[in-house]
Chain A
Amino acid sequence: MSGEEKRLTMIDLARVSKTFPPDVHALADVSLRIRRGEMIFLTGQSGAGKTTLLRMLCGIDRPDKGYIEIAGSDLSRISDNELQKLRRRIGVAYQDFKLLPDKTVAQNIAYSMEVSYRSRQFIISRTKQLLTELGLMDKLDALAGKLSRGEQQRVSIARAVANEPELILADEPTGNLDAETAGLVMQLFRRCNEEGVTLLIATHDQAIYDYPGSKIVRIENGRLAIQKPPVIAKQGEGRA
Chain B
Amino acid sequence: MNFLVAVFSQTWRSLVKSWRSQVLSLVTITLSILIFTFFYLVYNNALQFGNRLDNDLRLIVYLDEEPDQTLQQEYRHKIEKFDKVERIEFVSKLEAYDRFKGQLDDSQDVLKDIPKDFLPSSIEIYPRRSLESLSKIKEFSAYLENLPGVLKVQYGREWVERFNSFIQLLQVVVFLSGGLLIMTTTFMIGHSIRLTVFSRKNELELLRLVGASNSYIRVPFFLEGALLGLLGSAAGMAALYILFRWIRAAFAETAAQGMFSFSFFDTPTAAMIIVLSVLLCAGGSFVSIRKILSV
Residues of A within 8 A of B (CB): 58, 60, 80-81, 84-90, 92, 98, 100, 103, 111-112, 114-120, 159, 163
With contacts A87-B209, A111-B206 known, is A118 near B2, CB below 8 A?
yes
Most chain B CB neighbours (cut-off 10 Å) among A84, A103, A111 = A84
Given contacts A100-B202, A100-B203, contact A117 B210 (CB under 8 A): no
Closest approach, in angstroms, between the C-beta of A93 and any C-beta of chain B? 11
Are the C-beta atoms of B202 and A115 separated by less than 8 Å?
no
Q: How large is the interface on B (under 10, 10 to 19, 20 to 34, 35 or more residues)?
A: 10 to 19
B interface with A by C-beta (< 8 Å): 2-3, 5-6, 9-10, 202-203, 206-214, 216, 295
Closest to B13 in A: A107
Known: A100-B203, A111-B206. A117 touches B212 (CB 8 A): no
Residue of B nearest to A159 (CB): B210
8 Å CB contact of A115 from B9, B213, B295? B213
How many angstroms from the CA of A119 to the CA of B203 in the assembled complex? Answer: 21
- Determine if A85 and B211 form an interchain contact, defined as CB atoms under 8 angstroms apart: yes
A206 to chain B: closest CB distance in Å? 29
Known: A58-B209, A111-B210, A115-B216. 14 other contacts (CB 8 A): A80-B214, A81-B213, A86-B211, A87-B209, A87-B211, A89-B211, A100-B203, A100-B206, A112-B211, A115-B207, A117-B5, A119-B2, A120-B5, A159-B210
Q: Which residues of A contact B216 (CB under 8 A)?
A: 115
Question: Considering the chains assembled together, what is the distance between the CA atoms of A213 and B115 in angstroms?
Answer: 129
- CB pair B210–A115 under 8 Å, yes or no, is yes
Q: Would you call B214 and A84 a contact (CB within 8 A)?
A: yes
7 closest Cβ contacts across the A-B interface? A87-B211, A88-B211, A117-B2, A115-B212, A112-B210, A84-B211, A84-B213
> Complex Cα distance A85/B208, Å?
10
Task: Provide the bound-state CA to CA distance between A195 and B2, in Å.
Answer: 26
Shortest Cβ distance from A92 into chain B, in angstroms?
7
Known: A81-B213, A85-B213, A100-B202. A111 touches B207 (CB 8 A): yes
B contact residues around A116 at 8 Å (CB):
211
Q: Chain B: which residue is nearest A86 at the CB level?
A: B211
Which residues of A sit under 8 angstroms from B207, Cβ to Cβ? 111, 115
- Chain B residues with CB under 8 Å of A58's CB are 209
Closest A-chain residue to B3, C-beta based?
A117
Q: Do B213 and A98 touch across chains, with their CB atoms under 8 A apart?
A: no
In the bound complex, what is the Cα–Cα distance between A86 and B208 (angstroms)? 11
B211 touches A117 (CB 8 A): no
Complex Cα gap A87–B205 (Å) = 13
What residues of A have a CB within 8 angstroms of the CB of B203 in the complex?
A: 100, 103
Question: In the complex, what residues of B have CB within 8 A of residue A163's CB?
Answer: 210
Which residues of A are found within 8 Å of B5, using beta-carbon distances?
Answer: 117, 120
Cα of A90 to Cα of B209 in the assembled complex, Å: 10
Contact partners of A90 in chain B: CB under 8 A? 211
Give the distance in Å from the alpha carbon of A98 to the alpha carbon of B207 in the complex. Answer: 11
CB distance from B236 to the nearest CB of A (A): 35
30 chain-A/chain-B pairs, Cβ below 8 angstroms? A58-B209, A60-B209, A80-B214, A80-B295, A81-B214, A84-B208, A84-B211, A87-B209, A87-B210, A88-B211, A90-B211, A98-B206, A98-B209, A100-B202, A100-B203, A111-B206, A111-B207, A112-B210, A112-B211, A114-B10, A115-B207, A115-B210, A115-B212, A115-B213, A115-B216, A116-B211, A117-B2, A117-B3, A119-B2, A120-B5
Do A92 and B209 have beta carbons less than 8 Å apart? Answer: yes
B209 neighbours in A (Cβ, 8 Å): 58, 60, 87, 92, 98
Q: Which residues of B contact A100 (CB under 8 A)?
A: 202-203, 206
Instruction: Please measure, in the bound complex, the distance between the C-alpha atom of A118 and the C-alpha atom of B1, giving whole angstroms.
Output: 10
Minimum CB–CB distance from B111 to chain A (whole Å) comes to 90
Q: What CA separation (Å) do A117 and B2 show in the bound complex?
A: 5
| Cα distance A90–B211 in the bound complex, in angstroms | 9
A92: chain B residues at CB < 8 Å are: 209
B6 touches A114 (CB 8 A): yes
Report yes or no: B2 in contact with A84, Cβ–Cβ below 8 A.
no
Minimum Cβ distance to chain B for residue A169 (Å): 11
CA–CA, A147 and B2, complex, Å: 31
Residues from chain A with Cβ under 8 Å of B213 in the complex? 81, 84-85, 115
Docked pose: A119 CA to B94 CA in angstroms:
87
B212 touches A84 (CB 8 A): yes
Nearest CB of chain A from residue B225's CB, rounded to whole Å: 22
